[in-house]
Structure formats: structure tokens, C-alpha cells
Amino acid sequence: MEIALSARGICKRFAAIDALRDVDFDLRAGEVHALLGVNGAGKSVFVKILSGLLRKDAGQIVVAGAEIEIGDPHQAELSGIASVQQRPELVDDLLGYENIYLGHEAPGGAEFQSFDRGALERRALSLSERVGLKVDVARPLRAMTAIERELIAILQALSSETIRVLILDEPTSVLTEAEKGVLFSLIRNVKAKGVGVIYITHRLDEVFEIADRFTVFRGGRVVATDVVGRVNRSGERIAELMLGASLGEVYPAKVTRPGDVLLSAESISYGGAFTDVSFAVRRGEVLGIFGLLGSGLDELSKVMYGDLSPSDGRLLVKGDAVRLRNPKAALRRGIFMVPGDRWAEGLTPTQDVAFNITLANLSRVSLFGGLLRRRLARKTSAKLAALVDLQPPDTWRAAATFSGGNQQKVVIAKGLFTEAEIYIFVEPTVGVDIGARAKIYALIRELAATSAVVVMSSDCDEVFGLSDVILALHKGRLTLDAPTAQVSREEVMVAGLVGQAGRQAL
Amino acid sequence: MKSLSPRLVPLTIFVAIYAIIFVVFASMSSAFIRPTNIVEILRGMSANGIAALGLTFVIITRQSDMGFPWVASLGAMTMGHFIASGYDVPVAIFMGVLVGLAWGAVNGIAIGLFKLPDMITTIATGSIAFALGYLYSNGDSIYDNFMTSGILRLNDARFLGVRLPIVLLAAFFLVGWFILDRTRFGRAFYATGENRRSARLSGIPVQIYVIVAFCLCSAFASFGAILSSASAGMADVRTGINFLMPAYVSVFLGNAMFGRPSAGATLLGALFTETMIDGFTVLNVPFYYGDAIESVVLVLALLSSKPELRDAFRGLFIPARSMVGGGRL
């Protein structure tokens, strides 16, 4: 079979970290090739190199028999590689076909050349007919649904005459099941025209449905490439490949003395994000919840912290049903959340560490309801900074000047300052180097000695390594609820990746 | 050479630049350095400065208010109307400030709660205020009862030998500084401005702080316009119009010098601005040149608060380490 694209020995380093090491990859013409791997495995870096968003350090890329250099997205396009990003950037004010040909309205492409809208529309129509698609390209983009936008973005990618490779980055993350069907039939048509499709996804069920072959990335290397039909549909083998050997040693020993239940949920739901979720977390234990992007994990954390209100069910703090109207109400009930995006949600970056640490409980260092006791605030923050091992321990420095791991320690210290009894950690180690990671895990475990801790993450290993009780969330439903000691990592991974169906097949 | 404490560097730079313009004006006109003129600078600064202090709260929450000058005019006309109708001075002042407060609340609710765009909303609501200001007297100046009611004492009275407007200016800034720098409410204003999401997750009612900032901005501007009216001996629909440029120049000049908006930074910004305004007046420079020069200063202030330029500029004076967290007044 003809090879559409082949990559040999691709390497990419970021500072001291090997993002890609000697990656070999072949894409056949007319196949759908799924790229799999946990966050940070290297698959995004790899497709960014193919689409010209990053430059490789070493290796060669061959398209249609000729070696090419991809310096920028335009060169990628000229070489026949088109990509659709996770959230395609389209212009809301323009019509569908104007978006498809944006920047390519007229042959020659001079900036101020006039173009013929009618001709553009006819071109768009014939293009969508060629790939067997029924979409009204003459409507303004803002009137379009998620799937229509996705299709417009794909048509935009296909609009080049010379296309050989189409890269789709988690195209289904915003689509419903029915819409997914439309997308998949488009992919099949594109494939039939001899285009090679690289398909990035976290969802194994989609791999089994649409992909011909798959490649698994782990730690910047390709660990396996195989034909989809040759692996068990339970996904257990793929989960194993994605996880690799356990990194058990970074996780602290689990010493639990479960006490009374501090936080529990009774079949709570939020819109379409998650349904009928129940759990209870006790003082002295860590509850881990594993879920991928789009599983409802993010919404669940917000509901638990009063940032969103559940549409159904109820939350109980120490056995009392509570209605958390906002995060302030949650804080008052002794709940603190270390948010997943610390830059956007956890820090006031230009203010100093002491400002950040004290922010969530300023009344603790105020007199008469408002007057700040600045010396006390400084002293208390310095103590907490030492407790979380902030490096360097300078509480007068702006939060932005610290490394990712140390910024996370600042947010944890901010939580400690609130003297909460229930801590929720969302993606606690995203962007945190391995050294700081071990410290943060140790802190989480220490916290669990006196309080209840919930760790919510899309990193299966992390949830597994930290928790005493583990849940998995798949498409908004709990697919696993067990003491961590009684399940394997692979079972957890499959429950989050494939859901109930996968577990039954195991 | 002994290096300066990082906190004092911006202050030193300010004093140096201020000294230069002061000497330039003094050398061009002997009238400029007469004691009466120095007092005049401070007195003239009271109205603009108090308006700028109100704006500081809005800028700290990272919003903009383009309408407060018009609201201030309405506040002044309201005060004039109550004076002309024979009410007591405190009642008239209270009503004028109350109108400003109400307008600020409308702005704050529209912007903080309903997420309307700040500039356009405040231009619209400000225009309404300006139009309403005409209703009291068909746009004529109001000066009935001004001589007899005692409202002029707001400008003329002395407190411990100091002119009342200057005392009020000092009092407003003292309270403003205290709130912003020494209370948890001040922290909440800064946190709301810099990262609203993190402030909310830290339990701060961010919408309330945005509303309060807009309230203070319009109320302070109204009080400033009332001071101006007491000084002019009449209330005019155009009283507050001239607040816009000086207030923005004061806040952003202070912000550029001290790294973040604060009461102290605005006070020094206002002093700088007022000195320029007064200098141009003493030198009989036509007002439109004055406005143009102020605008140039504003653009320069904005440019110099760009981090890239700022680092280059500061690198000349202080070692890199002390740049972080320094410059807070």
C-alpha cells in the first residue's frame, strides 16, 4: 500500500526534557491511523511538528517520496498536510464558504484582489459534494452548530487540491453521538479518496469504530503500532501500552485511618456533563476520581466547590445537606479546591506569595473585620511556605516568578491557610516537574491524615497511586467505584477510557 | 555607591521629573512660584484629584469608566438645584453625591453583574446623566442662593489654617490609601482586577467589588464637581466635563511610575497633572495646547507601563532582583 507520510528518527527537546525521541511513524494513503497516549506522552508534539507549529530537532519527514522541511503551517499545507485543531479557529461573522476559503479567496492570493462570492460558493458546494457531505455552506458561521463548525473546519483543511494527510485532533470532544456518526462518515469518504488520516483521541471506543491502525506514544517514544482488528476490544492491551511500568516510587505510602464521612454526594447531576454521581469521602482518606477531558470531571469539581449548582441530587457536608451558592459558601463549609488551571484560576500572578496565601481567608489576619494585620499575615505565610517547602522560600516575591511546581505549592498553602477540612485537588501536577511532584504527592497524603482529600485527574497513574478509594468517570457516569487496593491500574484506565462495556469484557 | 531601596526608586524618579517641570515653569514665569499659586495648585487639584481617586478603584478592578465626568456634572447640577430651592448645604451636597452613587450603581450592576462592555455602557449612561443635568434649568448655570446659603464656604473655609478643599483632598486620599493598602477590602479590589476567576474561587464576591468601584468613581467625581461649583460660585452643566483627561492622566501616570494603580500613585500623578495645568494657565498657553500635552503624557505613561519597555527602563536604575514586588507605594 502506498505510504502518504513517513517520519524517521524525529527528536524534539524542550529544555532538559525529551518530548520526542527517535519517533518512527508511517501513515498509509487511505487509512485512518489513531494516535494514543496519556497526556504528555508526545503525540501532540508530534502532530505539531507535522503541521508546522513546532520545528523538529532531528529526523526526516517524507511525503509522497520526497523529503520535506516543515518550517511553518503554510509549508505544511503546501506539502499536502492539513490539520484541524481541537477548537478550530473560525470567523463567526463570515459565511461558511467564506471561512472555508479564508486567505485563499482568489487564485494568486493577493491581499486586495477582488473575488467572486458566487464562484466561491460553487467551489465550496462541489467540494462538499466530493466528500459526500450535506452542509449549508452559505450560512453565517455563528448560526452553525458544533458539528457544522467541525465540518466547515474539515472542509477548510480539505480545500487544498494537493491534500495527502489530514490531521484531526480530538474532533469529537464537543460532538453528540449522532453528530459523531456524521463526522465518521465524512472521515470514511475522505479516506476513500486516498487521503491518510491521523486521528488523535482519548476514546478507545472511537478507535475501534473508525481507525484501521493505531500507534501508542509513551514518554516521547513510540511503544507500539498495530492493526486495530488485532487487539481485544476491551482495550486492556492498549491501556497497558499507554501506562507502561508503574512509577510507584513517587507515591507516598498509604496510611489511612478512615474517620467520619466529611463530604458526600447523593446522585448529583449537572446538565449534560454528568449524571447520577454518588460518593463519600472520609476524614483520613484520599478519594481518587479518574476521568478524561469531557468526562464531566471538570464540572463535577466545580459543583463540589459551589462554582456550579447541581441540576439534581444533593451534596452533604458532615451529613448535613448543603446548597453551595458560590465558592465562598464552600469555603465557609470548610471546603477548598486547588483548581486545575492554576494560572487562570489559582493565582494572582503579579502579587507576592503572602498576598496569594492569605487571599482565601483574609479575615483570619484582619482586626475589626477589615484592618489587615500585615505582620501576622507575613509570619503565617512564611510558616506555610516553609511547610509546603516553597523554593525559594521568599514570600515577598511575585507568584509569577516561581516554577510551576512551586506555584502549585503556593496554591496548596493558600488552602492550608483557610484551615479547610475537605481538600479537592484538580489535576494537581499538570506542568509540575518530577521533583516537585513527589513533594506535592507527599503533601496530599499528609493532608489526608487530618482531613478528607479528593484528587481528580486525567492522569490515571496519579489517581491510582494516591487514592484509597477510586472512582472512574466516563461520559458523565461513574464506571468504577472500588477500594484502590482491589483493582488494577489497567482496570481503572479501561473504566475511564471505554466505560462499563470495557469492564464487562475484561 | 550605596544603592537605593527599590521602593524609593520610583519616588526618586518622580521627584526628579517633577523638579524639572517645576523649574521650567518657574523660570518662564515668576508668578508660578508665588505662594498663592502653590496653594492654587493644591486647591485646583482637590476636585480633579478626588475624581481621579474614584477612577483609581475602577482601574484597579481592570475596568474603565468613560462617563464619570458627565455624571459629575449631573451631581453638581443636582446640588445647585437643591441650593437654589433653599435646602441646607449638607442636604444639597448629599443629594449631589447620592445621584453620583446611584449612577455608579447602575454602571456597576450593568458591567459587573450583566457583563455589558464597560466603555460603551459608561458612555451611554454618562450621556443620559449629562442630558438630565439640563432638566433643572434648561442648561443655564444655577447660582441662586449660592452667595447666601454658605455653599461657598466649602471652597473658602479654613481648617487649622488650611483651605478646606486641600484638607478634603488629603482626607479622601488618606482614607483611600487606608482602604486599598491596609484592609482586606483593598486586597479584594486588587485580586478582583488581576484575576477575577481566582478571586472568585478564593471566596471574594467579585461582582460586589466591581459595583462598589463604579459607585465610588461616580460618587467621588460628583463630589469633585461640587467642590468645583463651590469654587466657581455656580453649578454648570459643564462642570465635570474637564475631569476626564486629568483623571486618566493621574491614574495612569501613577500606575506607570509605581507599577500598579494605588491611592498614593494617583495622588502624585494628580499633583503632576495639576502642576502642568496650572503652569499652562499661568503662562497663558491656550487650553487646547494644554489638553494636547496632557494627552501626550497619558500616551507616554501607557507606553512606559508596557512590561517590555518598563524592564528596559528600570534596568537602568535597579538590579533585576529587586524589580519584583518593588515600586509599591
Å between B186 CA and nearest CA of chain A: 9
Tell me what pLDDT residue A125 has: 87
Establish if B329 belongs to a structural domain: no
The ipTM value here is: 0.82
> Are A38 and A133 contained in the same domain?
yes
| Among A372, A388, A419, residue at a domain's last position | A419
Contact A218, A203 (CB under 8 A): no
In-domain check, residue A237: no
* A97-139 pLDDT per residue, tens: 888 888 777 666 556 667 778 888 888 888 888 777 777 888 8
Give domain status of residue B326, yes or no. Answer: no
Q: What is the pLDDT of residue B323?
A: 38
A358, A497: one domain: no
* Cβ–Cβ contact A397 with B under 8 A: yes
Span A334-378, pLDDT tens digits = 999 999 888 889 999 889 999 999 999 888 888 887 898 988 999
For residue A343, what is the nearest residue in chain B, using CA coordinates? B198
Residues of B in contact with A350 (CB under 8 A): 194, 260
Rounded to the nearest 5 degrees, what angle is found at the Cα of B46, between the Cα atoms of B40 and B47?
115
Q: Are A222 and A215 in contact (CB under 8 A)?
A: yes
Instruction: Give me chain A's average pLDDT, please.
Output: 87
Percent residues over pLDDT 90 in chain A: 39
What share of chain B has pLDDT > 70, as a percent?
91
Greatest extent of chain B over all pairs of C-alpha atoms, in Å: 66
Predicted pLDDT at A502:
53
Cell of A436: 516537585
Question: Has residue A236 been placed in a domain?
Answer: no
**CB-closest option in A344, A372, A414 to B197:** A344
Per the structure, the count of domains in chain A is 3
pLDDT tens figures, B117-150? 999 999 999 999 999 999 998 888 998 888 888 8
- Residue B202, min C-alpha distance to chain A (Å): 4
Of B184, B198, B205, the CB nearest to A362: B184
Q: CA-CA distance, B94 to A17, in Å (whole number)? A: 65
Whether B238 maps to a domain, the answer reads: yes
- What is the model's pLDDT at position A384? 93
DSSP characters for A71-119? -SHHHHHHTTEEEE-SS----TTSBHHHHHTTT-SSTT--TT----HHH
Cβ neighbours of B260 in A, within 8 Å: 350
pLDDT beyond 50 at A267: yes
Contacts of A331 in chain B (CB under 8 A): 202-203
Same domain, A354 and A442: no
Shared-domain flag, residues A363 and A326: no
CB contact under 8 A, B205 and A351: no
Question: Does A258 lie in the same domain as A210?
Answer: no
Task: Tell whether B325 is covered by a domain.
Answer: no
Q: Which of A26-40, A431-445, B125-139, B145-159 has the highest mean pLDDT?
A: B125-139
Distance CA B299, CA A303 (A): 45
Whether A343 is in a domain gets the answer no
pLDDT at B321 over 60: no
A258 plus A315 within the same structural domain: yes
Residues in A touching B198 (Cβ below 8 Å): 339, 344-348, 359
Question: Can you give the residue range of the structural domain that contains A117?
Answer: 3-231
Residues A289 and A395 in one domain: no
The answer to the question of residue A13 being in a domain is yes
- Among B231, B59, B61, B254, smallest CA distance to B146 is for B231
* Chain B touched by A293 (CB under 8 Å): no
| CB-CB under 8 Å, A347 with B325 | no
A250 touches chain B (CB under 8 A): no
Does residue A243 lie within any of the structural domains? no
**Looking at the complex, does the CB of residue A350 fall below 8 Å from at least one CB of chain B?**
yes
The domain total for chain B is: 1
How far apart, in whole angstroms, are the C-alpha atoms of residue A116 and residue A106?
8
pLDDT at B226: 96
Are A307 and B185 an interchain contact pair (Cβ–Cβ within 8 Å)? no
Q: Distance (Å) from the C-alpha of residue A173 to the closest C-alpha of chain B?
A: 24
**Are residues A406 and A457 both part of a single domain?**
no
Task: List pLDDT tens digits, range B30-77.
Answer: 888 888 888 888 988 999 999 999 999 999 999 999 999 999 999 999
Indicate whether A194 and A127 sit together in one domain.
yes
Name the domain boundary from A419, A452, A467: A419
Q: What percentage of residues in chain B have a pLDDT greater than 90?
A: 57
Q: Which of A350, A374, A411 to mutate to test the interface with B (most CBs of B within 10 A)?
A: A350
Whether A453 maps to a domain, the answer reads: yes
Residues A285 and A407 in one domain: no
CATH of residue B291:
1.10.3470
Query: Is there a contact between A139 and A92 (Cβ–Cβ < 8 Å)?
Result: no
Using one digit for the tens of pLDDT, what is the confidence trace for A172-222?
Answer: 776 777 778 888 988 998 888 889 999 998 778 888 889 999 999 988 889
Boundary-marking domain end, from A231, A261, A282: A231
- Domain hosting B122: range is 8-20+34-319
Answer for the pair B142, B83: CB distance below 8 angstroms, yes or no: yes
Q: Are residues A271 and A384 in the same domain?
A: no
Which of B184, B191, B199 is facing A370, going by the closest CB pair?
Answer: B184
Contact residues for A44 (Cβ-Cβ < 8 A; gap 6+) = A169, A200
Q: Which residue has the cell 502642568?
A: B276
Hey, are the CB atoms on B185 and A370 less than 8 Å from each other?
yes
Q: What is the DSSP string of A261-305?
A: EEEEEEEEEETTTEEEEEEEEETT-EEEEEE-TTTTHHHHHHHHT
Statement to judge: residues A10 and A66 lie in one domain: yes
Phi, psi (5° rounding) for residue B3? Answer: -90, 155
Q: What digits encode the pLDDT tens for the residues A212-232?
A: 999 999 888 898 898 988 887
Can you give the pTM of this predicted structure?
Answer: 0.81
